[in-house]
Structure 1
């Protein structure tokens, strides 16, 4: 069921078109914050695409969809290896059945596109694997400490919201050093901490050398920490209110991930019933050097992270895959062989869904993959290429980043979706000044005003059309000529 997604050569989510456009632009100008502002997704997601591009891969929707699956599968490998260290044997394999079924059969858009959490989750899973290994072997190698430290440092450059998760794992790594090798505590801790500092120090030095360090701190740290969804204070809800409503929010917005949750909830109920005595429950939490207690703390950190963002996009819930898979292993290990298979049979829900589709004569595959039915290039993209060539700069005003990918033209501004430059929020003036400065610097061959009634978020041309922004409107009027209007999308070419 995942194969049709690989073959689907159209965008599934605005986020993946954003990151593909950023990766494409980095092949022309690889300096972040001069050419590309990754907003909340983090630099690593775009640089990974850039790396694949220079290796010879075309940055297409095909690539993004396969990459998303590959990153998730690599994370599952680390979950499995972590479970093996806790002497679970075959349980380590059984525990991954819900996750493998989820990854293989799900067609919900939020879980099959190249989402910005995928690389961060892979790095977090690598660190959990190291923690499981250290817990079991009670020894540490310098290579492991260096790799773990580098991964922890890079998590924040993948997704700034994942900082609390990396912090939990980093602190617990130091605790394990204290528990198992006190005689080498300062040496080993120094290696781990120095690696983290070195990665970040090298990154900041690179930005400083190229004159964009202040931009990084402002746009990635300060702006992302303060901006709310749709950049409106009216959307604010107190963390306590969101915490109380979190189970309901998860049930409504989680959708596809429920196939992972159902067996976990059943197993958790059986686990709590079997260990309902307080002493028995505490004994379980203490095994494996408190690993499961820390994993519970990690889960709380995930909830806190999601509540802090307040946006609750469905793909944010993929942070739960790591603790869900590992807790499934723990719970299964407490049951007899017969009950293990009985509970895991909940995955037959996918077969039930298949039968339902057959009976109702509805399509099992949500994605048309026949070449004749896939529009290889939109009319707007074809029109753009009348006035410019792939590799030349393009600027699209409005959240329509697919045009960059279709035409294989790099973005001529840092912010490729225009939202932060166009919509009202405390930092709008700063974003807008940079936008106008960027377009004057790159002098794109084509400017597209993509504000229509269908544009994401900015769906009011009378309010958000570029003509409402004096400096931008003046520059476009002086240097560009309106060539075509296609379904409300205005295409301007350099005079």
Structure 2
């Protein structure tokens, strides 16, 4: 969790208490109704939205970087607005162009490129994903099971006070996958599959590779089960399968046509497709699998969600075994959810990197599996009002109390992150300009190309300057891989093409990841060193970060003196 000052700590603690109070009132109202049909969710849905807004407001109003991915996406979107051609001028590593283009939309409406805008976009997307998730569950299961299964996800996002409150780079692909799950749930209810819906399911799945390749296995599995429904239910199987295929091919064909027309297909193929297939932190799948427990340990509040579902799955299996009805669960929906959990798990661990935001791929699949087993398990049980109260209270405690423990231990300093203190005075303030960015702006103007050697995309945001290289950071040219030399040569080629006005070597002992100047400074790479030495002049050093300006942009000293005198 993040560190807050006294006022924000009291504000968020108040929010936690309000959430608990509202949950208790919800249970009392729901269990007290004679029939589920007498219970309207409209009021409680509005209350949930109000609580979500209340708890997210400090993060929405905090115009500072919470996580480097936020700055990275914004810097890439800022550059895309200048160049528009992805992969050649901007390469989001594991992210596709749709993630960046979507962030440009608010600026076309007059909103600035800053963290408030980015998190507002992410918040709107989150609302849509949560609504789609609940409606998907309700299409598959009874209202009672849908509410039980949705609780860990809903409470997780309401009570998150750390990394998951920032804009993660999966925000758009998670939206597409949620749309895909929802579409499949609608199709599942139909006796005969609708041709229009088949096309749309496949069309949305075809968009996924261009949001983030990590979501492709999930999208493909959804399309595969859609095809299975066609085989099982359609009277015109050939026609419907052709419609499905056309839907899946439409968006990729459009992208490939644009890529060939723009001359960037080679960049897409080599650096996006092949590069991401090979993207890995090393190790075998077995070592990555065995490392998942450690992954969870460092996942922050996500571990609460995961253990909540683990306990729910355990209870559902126990009910089924006890009643001897375990065999009744093996339906098409069971295999759909079971294989989705497996494929999502693969997507999470495949790279071998312990990035918390990857874990969100598991949420909907594990909720679906829990729903399938719980629906079957509850049918075998007879519940008194007292047992319903007890089991509901226990489930609420499992879902919500660990979040309280996290909050309290953070407040007293045990589990706080190493981020700076977030003060209530920081909220609502405009984007702050760092000393390095102020120095950059002495020589470059918004819209110019600037290259940051290191991993500090926030400088692009603060100066409103575009990337001088497709890679906004040096991660891929510093990390050993089969394509490391390819990435380096592309970086050098981009540098020579764009001739950025300013080159900043931000490598210091305090830099993110690359914090060994003796190893990572640009002078350690002869081709980069020689190019910078030939075309740039070192003008200043700010906080250990070296700033170089292209020689032809430097104003001669005498002319500068005359300009200063004239201005006086």
**TM-score normalised by structure 1 residue count:** 0.91
Alpha-carbon distance in structure 2 between the residues aligned to 1:47 and 1:373: 26
Hey, what does 2:467 align to over in structure 1?
Answer: 411
Q: Any residues of structure 2 matched to 1:67-82 within 5 Å, and which?
A: 67-82=121-136
**Residue in structure 1 matched with residue 29 of structure 2 by the alignment:** none
Contact 1:394 1:444 in 2 (8 A): yes
CA shift for structure 1 position 210: 0.7
Residue aligned with 1:276, SS: helix
> Would the alpha carbon gap of residues 259 and 491 (structure 1) be closer, same or farther in structure 2, given more than 3 Å must change?
same
Q: State the 1:25 CA deviation.
A: 0.4
Match status 1:209 vs 2:261: yes
Question: Does the 8 A contact of 2:453 with 2:507 survive in 1?
Answer: yes
- Structure 1 CA distance for aligned equivalents of residues 354 and 327 of structure 2: 32
Find 2:337's aligned residue among 281, 290, 295.
Answer: 295
Residue 297 of structure 2: aligned partner: 252
Question: What are the equivalent positions in structure 2 for 1:127-142 lying under 5 Å apart?
Answer: 127-142=180-195
1:212-248 Cα deviation digits (max 9, x unpaired): 101100001112212332xxxxxx32212332443x2
Residue correspondence of structure 1 range 278-357 to structure 2 within 5 A:
280-286=325-331, 290-330=332-372, 333=375, 334-335=377-378, 336=383, 337-338=388-389, 339-346=391-398, 347-354=400-407
Superposition CA RMSD, Å:
2.5
Give per-residue Cα distances to partners, 1:353-400, cap 9 Å, x unaligned. Answer: 555566789999963342399781211111111111111111111111
Instruction: Confirm whether residue 190 of structure 1 aligns to residue 190 of structure 2.
Output: no
Q: What is the rounded CA distance, in whole Å, between the counterparts of 2:209 and 2:78 in structure 1?
A: 22
> 1:223-234 counterparts in 2 under 5 A?
223-229=275-281
**Would the alpha carbon gap of residues 71 and 209 (structure 1) be closer, same or farther in structure 2, given more than 3 Å must change?**
same
Q: Secondary structure at the match of 2:467?
A: coil
Distance in 1 (alpha carbons) for counterparts of 2:411 and 2:216: 45
Q: Judge which range, 9-18 or 311-320, deviates more.
A: 9-18
Distance 1:155 1:76 in 2: 19
Match of residue 153 from structure 1: 206
The alignment of Structure 1 onto Structure 2 pairs a total of residues equal to 483
Residue from 136, 147, 171 that aligns with 1:93 = 147
| 2:226 is equivalent to residue 173 of structure 1 | yes
- Counterpart-to-counterpart distance in 1, 2:202 and 2:359: 25
In structure 1, distance between residues paired with 2:370 and 2:194? 29
1:134-153: CA deviations, max 9, x gaps?
Answer: 21222333332222112101
**Shift in CA distance, 158/107, structure 1 to aligned 2, threshold 3 Å:** same
CA distance in 2, matches of 1:92, 1:386: 57
Seen in structure 2, the aligned counterparts of structure 1 residues 35 and 359 have a Cα distance that, compared at 3 Å, is: closer
Q: Which of 121, 124, 130 is equivalent to 2:174?
A: 121
Match of 2:73 in 1: 19
Question: What TM-score do the two structures reach when normalised by structure 2?
Answer: 0.80
Cross-structure match for 1:266? 311
Alpha-carbon spacing, 1:442–1:294, altered in 2? closer, same or farther (3 Å): same
1:108 is aligned to 162
Report what 1:199 is aligned to: 251
Q: Mark the runs of 5 or more structure 1 residues left unpaired by the alignment.
A: 230-235
Query: For 1:90 and 1:424, how far apart are their aligned partners in 2?
Result: 51
On the 8 A contact 1:390/1:407 being kept in 2, the answer is yes
Residues 424-433 or 146-155, more deviating: 424-433
Give the whole-Å Cα distance in 1 for the aligned partners of 2:536 and 2:410. 51
> Which protein has the larger Cα radius of gyration, Structure 1 or Structure 2?
2
